[in-house]
Copies of this chain bind each other. A is one copy, B any other.
Amino acid sequence: MEKTALIMAGGRGERFWPKSRKSLPKQFLSLTDDGKTMIQLTVERILPIVNIENIYIATNKDYLPLIKEQLPDLPEKNVICEPIGRNTAPCIAVSAAIISKKYDDALMMVLPSDHLIKYNNIYQQILSDACEVAEKDDNLVTVGITPDYPETGYGYIKFLNGETEGRAYKVEKFVEKPNLGLAKEYVASNEYLWNSGQFIWKVSTILNKLKEHMPETYEGALKIKDAYDTEKYDEVLNKVFPEFPSISIDYGIMEKSENIYVIPGTFGWDDVGSWLAVERIKKVNECGNIVDGNIVSINTKNCIIQGDKKLIATVGLEDLVIVDTEDATLICDKKSTADIKKILEELKGLNKNEYL
């Protein structure tokens, strides 16, 4: 069966402010030493298993120019421009419907656009394995990450050790982000995986599920499908899409479904959740600093310093994140990166929207 992919690229990623902005969210930034952006890397790593003609990107319409610039080989009609964000369920419904106009049926991988993966070969193998499980019956397959430590920032997936389907395990339940005590129990139990937000299913399977559990969204998606590739497409999309409820696929479909399988993977996955993640993915110098730009440092260690042309001089610093952009400079203690969003709230309150 033909393989297709939907890359979801509508997110904001406030945690990389001030480099990420409303107008330039995380998936369009380069955070690795190779200079490639997150979405470029996402496309690149699935190209060995999915033809570029079969890769779809759902995003906010404002980002179309960025996508055309960063992914010039991707057909423009494969970019599904959401007039307004409606969470993942409507986005997946419309994309699945549009793909069903091209293929009677096809495999569909739903992937985030702003995660990193270190071992691409292993990852491609996992996706292929997932496709095998998804092709059989009406299985919904997700990719679970073998946890390294009791992370409290991710959701977890509990699987049933005894019930397998190919290389996948039957999912018992999805659980929300736990507190530290619970997270420790999950990791110790060997029955939980991290939820990486990646799904694999047949287009027919997910459309049937939508028809069953979210019939109005399903009907709306069919209207958009009918208009797709005609001159009415923009008009219909802009009319129908905003009427969708804002619901996640986890809540709208996964929690209500049987036949969910998880493929466990260990392929150097990183959701690059904050500036601290840069320590895991960029080269560290002999003082423990990660520096980019025009930097001069005296007695400075274990800092992340990301600048550009402007000179940044640091003296006697430790454990700071310093990010300089054209119009804003962030200086943040490493322990406080979760509070960067408070800066954005403050800026909103001050009506300084030009910095968001």
Contact of B343 with A298 in the complex, beta carbons under 8 Å: yes
Contact of A333 with B311 in the complex, beta carbons under 8 Å: no
Contact of A311 with B352 in the complex, beta carbons under 8 Å: yes
Q: When each residue 328-356 of chain A gets 1 if its CB lies under 8 Å from chain B and 0 otherwise, what string results?
A: 11111101110110110011001010010
Known A-B contacts A322-B331, A331-B320, A331-B331; the reply to A343 vs B313 at CB < 8 A is yes
Residue A316 CB within 8 A of the other chain: yes
Contact of A299 with B329 in the complex, beta carbons under 8 Å: no
Q: Which residues of B contact A355 (CB under 8 A)?
A: 311
Residue A314 CB within 8 A of the other chain: yes
Residue A188 CB within 8 A of the other chain: no
Residue A220 CB within 8 A of the other chain: no
Contact of A316 with B298 in the complex, beta carbons under 8 Å: no
- Assembled-state Cα–Cα distance A102/B84 (Å): 80
Closest to A342 in B: B298
Residue A239 CB within 8 A of the other chain: no
Contact of A343 with B299 in the complex, beta carbons under 8 Å: no
Task: Tally A residues with Cβ within 8 Å of B.
Answer: 35
Q: Which residues of B contact A320 (CB under 8 A)?
A: 317, 331
Q: When each residue 308-319 of chain A gets 1 if its CB lies under 8 Å from chain B and 0 otherwise, what string results?
A: 001111111100
Contact of B342 with A327 in the complex, beta carbons under 8 Å: no
Q: Which residues of A contact B (CB under 8 A)?
A: 17-18, 296, 298-299, 310-317, 320, 322, 324, 327-333, 335-337, 339-340, 342-343, 346-347, 350, 352, 355
Q: List 29 A-B contacts (CB under 8 A).
A: A17-B313, A296-B346, A296-B350, A296-B352, A298-B342, A298-B343, A299-B336, A299-B339, A310-B328, A311-B347, A311-B355, A312-B329, A313-B328, A313-B331, A313-B332, A313-B340, A314-B330, A314-B332, A315-B330, A315-B332, A315-B336, A315-B340, A316-B336, A316-B339, A317-B320, A317-B332, A320-B331, A324-B329, A331-B331
